[in-house]
Amino acid sequence: MNHKIYISVDMEGITGVIHWDETDEKKPEHNYFKKLMTEETNAAIEAALEAGATEIVVRDAHASARNLVPDMLNENAKLLREWSRGPYLMMEGIDDSFDAVLCIGYHAKAGTPNATLKHTMSGQILDLRVNDQSLPELGWNALIAGYHSVPVIFVSGDRALTEQAHQIFGEIETVAVKEGLGQAALNLHPKRAQRLIKEGVGKAFKRISDFKPLKFSSPYRMELHFKNEDRAFRAEWYPGAKRIGELVVSFECADFMDCLRFFMFVT
């Protein structure tokens, strides 16, 4: 069966990654872990191809968006690098033509106990809520995919992230490649992590019809809980935004695209 697949790849949820230096392209440690990031992505690509994918777009969705190693990536996938500065961010390039989304190397939301390098988007956000539901980056990105009626069918990252994925989606296919313990993490061997990702993606494709796009009911009510007051002060000037606390700004809209614009301009 022919499938067009979108793969969004972050880095904090790759096995072995436990320190910010390992995710920073300016640090020497990054060179090793960007290879692991590419290999975990390839595991997902291989499974998708075996399941009948005929077109695969990979979005490098970490930091500079220039982390995946192009000549290491499976040649059957197209790679989207850098940021356009548009509102889709980690889901750039998604549209109604895709059949499913895979999320590789994702991490838990800010404030999650025993989670590796947890944060929400820029690191300046303590909490992101939509219709009273607190979301990790995974949930926000799934809503973007859902706006185009595309379901997320597989997620890999640390244990805390996979638990949050089940809270959001229910019976989604996940692979935990590590488990946090305070600032430390117990990691799978890279080859084992890659095998499990390939197996997990394969399982997801076998039940692809079970998955539904993540959609919330309109009107949408967003809340951004900022780390610093100056961010909240700036955000309250966005048309339609309201300051509802020292660090909290809310925004309501009927079309989720307006939520994307709000988020883009205030974060």
pLDDT at 263 over 90: yes
Distance CA 228, CA 239 (A): 20
CATH number of 3-121+134-210: 3.40.50.10780
Q: Which tokens go with 75?
A: 């040649």
Which pLDDT value is given to residue 115?
98
pLDDT at 139 over 90: yes
Q: What is the pLDDT of residues 168-204, one digit of tens each?
A: 999 999 999 999 999 999 999 999 999 999 999 999 9
Which pLDDT value is given to residue 122?
87
Q: How confident is the model at residue 67 (pLDDT cuts 50, 70, 90)?
A: very high
Query: What letters, b where the CB count within 10 A reaches 16 and e where it falls short, cover 176-195?
Result: bbbbbeeeebebbebeebbe
Give domain limits for the chain. Answer: 3-121+134-210, 220-266
Average pLDDT rounded to a whole number, residues 61-80: 98
Q: Which tokens go with 219?
A: 């009107």
Which pLDDT value is given to residue 255?
97
Q: What is the pLDDT of residues 105-119, one digit of tens each?
A: 999 999 999 999 999
Which pLDDT value is given to residue 123?
85
Asked whether the whole model's pTM tops 0.95, one would answer yes
Which pLDDT value is given to residue 248?
98
Percent of the chain residues topping a pLDDT of 70? 100
DSSP result, 138-166: HHHHHHHHHHTT--EEEEEEEHHHHHHHH
pLDDT at 1 over 80: no
Which pLDDT value is given to residue 189?
98
Distance CA 194, CA 199 (A): 9
Which pLDDT value is given to residue 27?
97
Which pLDDT value is given to residue 266?
97
Per DSSP, what are the bridge partners of residue 134? 129
Q: How confident is the model at residue 72 (pLDDT cuts 50, 70, 90)?
A: very high
Q: Which tokens go with 73?
A: 């990536």
- For residue 45, CA distances in Å to 4, 59, 65, 66, 75 come to 11, 12, 19, 19, 10
Which pLDDT value is given to residue 2?
84
